[in-house]
Amino acid sequence: MSSKYTQAQEIALQIIKELGGVVRTSKALRAGIHPRTFYSLRDQGAVETLSRGVYRLADLPAISNPDLILVASRVPQAVICLISALSFHEMTTQVPHKIFIALRQGIKAPKIDFPPLSVHLFSETSFEAGIKTYEIDGVAVQIYSPEKTLADCFKFRNKLGMDVVLEALKMYKNRQSKMNIADLIKYARICRVERVMQPYLESIT
């Protein structure tokens, strides 16, 4: 560590690094960093603000997907879904202008200033199915698998547009060495769209 930092600051920087380099203020304080030490690091430019209450080490490489990291940090109970999940899995040409997230029914939609969110409430069974955790720039981000995302898109086809759904299905087929038909059917049943999806699945297998 550089000599320009006090011992307390050096310890704080090490703690933040061990936490993945991106932290919420509350998590940093729970980890034992004194508020005065934390904010002095911010004022010196050792940590930078991503969003209100979310900070990262300034010397980390550029963030590849800052919006997903912000959502994962601010709304850890959410799962990235629909258009945002399609975009992550490279299954759409759509450019999402909001981050699409799923929450359990009964959970109050979060209020955050940035990025803008499109919030969708899923039943317990549907919410739990197909969650995968991906590490993006050291931050764990929950995103639905490609197969669960397709089933969700068929369920929300009237809102998304059938052209978006069919494009996603086509891109899924083209980018997979072997399609996971069993998972597609499983998630179609969970989302109650098996009868809707069946003809389209038959046409690509």
User: Do 48 and 94 fall within a single domain?
Assistant: no
CA 128 to chain CA centroid, nearest Å: 15
Predicted confidence at residue 63, as pLDDT, reads 63
- The encoded tokens of residue 66 equal 């800052």
User: Do 95 and 135 fall within a single domain?
Assistant: yes
User: Do 121 and 82 fall within a single domain?
Assistant: yes
Cβ within 8 Å of residue 115, ≥6 positions away: 67, 70, 71, 98, 99
Q: How do 117-122 and 99-104 pair as beta strands?
A: parallel
Q: Is residue 2 part of a domain?
A: no
Which residue stretches of the chain have pLDDT < 70?
A: 1-4, 62-64
Predicted confidence at residue 1, as pLDDT, reads 44
Predicted confidence at residue 64, as pLDDT, reads 63
Q: Is residue 28 part of a domain?
A: yes
Q: Is residue 121 part of a domain?
A: yes
Domain coverage including residue 40:
7-57
User: Do 149 and 189 fall within a single domain?
Assistant: yes
User: Do 114 and 143 fall within a single domain?
Assistant: yes
User: Do 16 and 107 fall within a single domain?
Assistant: no
Q: What's the domain count of the chain?
A: 2
Residue 124's identity, in one-letter code, is: E
What CATH number corresponds to the domain at position 191? 3.30.460
User: Do 52 and 74 fall within a single domain?
Assistant: no
User: Do 53 and 70 fall within a single domain?
Assistant: no
Predicted confidence at residue 171, as pLDDT, reads 94
pTM attached to this predicted model: 0.75
